[in-house]
Amino acid sequence: MLRYPVYLDYSSTTPCDERVLETTLPYFTKFFGNASSRSHAFGWRADTAVEAARKSVASLIGADPKEIVFTSGSTEGCNLALRGVFEMYASKGNHIITTKTEHKAVLDTCKILQKKGAEVTFLNVSKDGIVDTEELKAAIKPETILIAVMYANNETGVVQPVKEIGAIAKQHNILFFSDATQAVGKIPVNVEQDHIDILALSAHKIYGPKGVGALYVRRRNPRVKLAAQITGGAQENNLRSGTLNVPAIVGLGRACEICRAEMPEEAARLNDLRNQLQLELLKIDESYVNGSLEHRLPQICNISFRSLSSSQLLSVLNKTLAVSSGSACTSGSLDPSFVLKAMGIEDGLARGSIRFSIGRFTNREEIDFAITEVKKAVEKLRNESFEWTLFQKGKTR
């Protein structure tokens, strides 16, 4: 039986898996020790749990546990990566290369660093949303210290040529940071094979608790050094001071274990559901998929509907469907998605885009329901749309 509204906004956040919740609960009450308290059993138990979680996170991305730094989430991770590199490698250079379609956690931080003396190159992407690696190579300077390209886009699901980008960075002795928030746990991510030096991930995108994440920081070939942004203690190898959130970290570790075990089967299932949704919605006149159809995550589908605004569609759908117009961090904006505009999507289509993102608990009945609801909403709004009437008249001339 359907529960309303049907949730199709998994890229915004995911429900905590009950298996994860069950694992975390004892660490709120029974095993409540501070992981930094090394003089008694309560602290030892907490520290053991944290280190076990560190191993689980590392295993999911092909890293060494010593390379995992726990954070409050990907936004903090992106800040620590960008600011930490800029400050630590200032004597080598001040140039950062990124793209126009990054998450705001990267873009806004880069803009702040510009005010502090950084030179930042914001690369264009193709209409498919993919970075041109030749343009990336051309942007490299002797002063370039960091390339920051997200693994997969949070609005379109487009997956970047990360391995190729990582190889370019390695060839030029430049650090490579990837915001892999949407990719980790959904598709195979391996920091060694992809030549990634720093990587951010977040628990609440993979059915773990909110408020916890991890930053991978390479220790060998090369050894990456970051300037700490939160000081006042020696936690996390002096990179991130503060009492560790043990229950949340335990939850992140368990979430990573589940993703690692179930990813192949789950990715195939989500791909089938997403394709069914896309196939039916593209039967609506003047509807278009945004982003590459070949290089993308299995769980995201971004579709534009001509002569409609996403706010109109959401206002009709919000009682029955939970979907979004793009990133949750920019959902309050009335402007067309900056990601779609950077891809060269015309404003008329960009402002009518809806992101459908499905997940572990999405089923076929919910997909069928969503198809019916979206078709009804589009038909209703277009019947009331003067813009659509004019467009139809223009087509028949």
Q: Which of 83, 54, 97 is nearest to 228 (CA)?
A: 83
Amino acid, res. 218: R
Is residue 175 within 8 Å of 145, Cβ to Cβ? yes
CA gap 91, 89 in Å, rounded: 5
Is residue 358 within 8 Å of 274, Cβ to Cβ? yes
CA gap 87, 30 in Å, rounded: 41
Is residue 276 within 8 Å of 365, Cβ to Cβ? no
Query: Tokens for 163?
Result: 């391995």
Which DSSP letter does residue 131 get? B
Is residue 278 within 8 Å of 303, Cβ to Cβ? yes
CA gap 306, 304 in Å, rounded: 6
CA gap 223, 219 in Å, rounded: 4
Active site residues: 329
For 251, residues 6+ apart whose C-beta sits below 8 A from its C-beta are 16, 20, 21, 23, 24, 203, 208, 209, 212
Query: Tokens for 380?
Result: 């209703």
Is residue 284 within 8 Å of 306, Cβ to Cβ? no
List 180's β-bridge partners, or say none. none
Q: Which of 320, 279, 319, 329 is nearest to 301 (CA)?
A: 279
The 3-state DSSP composition of the chain as helix, strand, coil percent (nearest 5) reads 45, 15, 40
Is residue 219 within 8 Å of 71, Cβ to Cβ? no
